[in-house]
A = this chain, B = another copy of it.
Amino acid sequence: MAKRIGEKYQVILEAAVKTFARTGYHRTRVADIAHEAGVADGTVYIYFKNKEDVLISLFQDLMIRFVDELQNELVQYQDANEKLIAIINYHLTTLANKPDQAKVTQIELRQIDQTINDGISKPLMSYFQLIEEVIDEGKEQNLYRQNLNTRTARKVIFGAIDEVVTCWVMSNKPYDLSTLSEPVFDMLVRGLR
């Protein structure tokens, strides 16, 4: 089971994002996902271990793609500041354009027991690491102060962006999320110097 291949794997994943975003993780029945995907209930279990695995796979899928694309984006920049604004920009723009994904990432994903969940933390780690690399580069480039604790800085940066997105999702998105890139970058970069 849990074969990461096959047309239906993707179909189910897409049905899951839609259904989780609409109904919420706990209120979504596996049968709902199957129905939305146009497959039988049992088919879900050919591709996924269980309901939680659907949510986690979903997140991993999104996150791997997210980090991949972000890395591609960053190669064009040398300057740590430019990289940082690119990160914030990419983070906000991506979620602004994919409201279902944003809902799942910011809300539904937090409905499963975080304390034991490797499936969630591992893909996040690679994003965290990417941020930390940029901070370190900034320190090497003498853009950021040497006594800055990289890990703490990363938490501040990620926490800030994440909160901005969560507020936007919870407020039912009445404004353009990507307009916050600049002010957020502005605050964060000053903090790093």
A163 contacts partner chain B, Cβ-Cβ < 8 Å: yes
Complex interface residues of chain A between 123 and 171 (CB less than 8 A to chain B):
148-149, 152-153, 155-164, 166-167, 170
A183: which B residues are within 8 A, CB to CB? 148-149, 152
A155: which B residues are within 8 A, CB to CB? 160, 163-164, 167
Number of identical protomers: 4
| 0/1 interface trace, chain A 72-101, chain B, CB 8 Å (1 if under) | 000000000000000000000000000000
Q: How far is B158's CA from A160's CA once the two chains are assembled, in angstroms?
A: 7
- Interface, chain A (partner B; CB < 8 A): 24, 26-27, 107, 110-115, 121, 148-149, 152-153, 155-164, 166-167, 170, 180, 183-184, 186-193
Q: Is the CB of A153 within 8 A of B24?
A: no
Q: How far is B112's CA from A167's CA once the two chains are assembled, in angstroms?
A: 16
